[in-house]
Chains A and B, each alone.
Chain A
Amino acid sequence: MGLDTRAADTGVSFNPSQQESWVTTRLDFLVNWGRANSLWPMPFGTACCAIEFMATAASKFDLARFGMERMSFSPRQADVLICAGRVPFKLAPVIRRIWQQMPQPKWSIAMGACASTGNGIFDNYAVVQGIDTIIPVDVYVPGCPPRPEALMYGIMMLQKKIMNERMADRSLRHEMEPDPTSKLYIPPALIDEMSENFGNSVHQTRSGL
Chain B
Amino acid sequence: MSEPSFLPVLAGHANAGDAPAPTTPKKVPHQGGAVNPGAAALEARFPGAVHRVDVVWGETTVIVAREQLADIVRWLHDDPSQRYDYCSDITAVEFRDMERPIEVVWHLRSIPFRRFIRLKVLLTKGEPLVVPSVYGVYRGADWLERECYDMFGIRFEGHPDLRRLLMWEQYKEGFPLRKDFPLRGRFSRSEQLRQILAQNPEAKYSMEELSVIDAFEDLPPDMRQRLGKGEQVGE
A interface, CB within 8 angstroms of B: 89-90, 92-94, 96-97, 123-126, 128-129, 133-134, 188, 191-192, 195-197, 202, 204, 208
Is B201 in contact with chain A by the CB < 8 A criterion?
yes
A sample of 10 more A-B contacts (CB under 8 A), given A92-B197, A202-B184, is A92-B196, A93-B196, A94-B201, A124-B183, A125-B183, A126-B176, A133-B189, A192-B191, A195-B190, A204-B183
Specify the chain B residue showing the minimal Cβ separation from A133: B193
Whether A134 contacts B197 in the complex (CB less than 8 A), given A123-B184, A124-B185, A197-B184, comes out as: yes
CB distance A188 to B190 under 8 Å? Answer: yes
Please, how many residues of chain B have a CB less than 8 angstroms from a CB on the other chain? 22
Distance to closest chain A CB from B143 (angstroms): 16
Is B23 in contact with chain A by the CB < 8 A criterion?
no
Return 28 A-B CB contacts under 8 Å, by A number.
A89-B168, A89-B193, A90-B167, A90-B168, A90-B196, A92-B193, A92-B196, A93-B201, A96-B197, A97-B201, A123-B184, A124-B183, A124-B184, A125-B176, A125-B182, A125-B183, A125-B184, A125-B185, A125-B192, A126-B167, A126-B176, A126-B185, A134-B197, A188-B190, A188-B194, A195-B188, A196-B188, A197-B184
Distance to closest chain B CB from A126 (angstroms): 7
Task: Report the Cα distance A126→B175, complex, angstroms.
Answer: 12
Distance to closest chain B CB from A44 (angstroms): 14
A-B contact count (CB 8 A): 55
Q: Which of B165-212 contact A (CB under 8 A)?
A: 167-168, 173, 176, 181-185, 188-194, 196-197, 199-201
Q: Which of A94, A97, A125, A188 neighbours the largest number of chain B CB atoms within 10 Å of its CB? A: A125
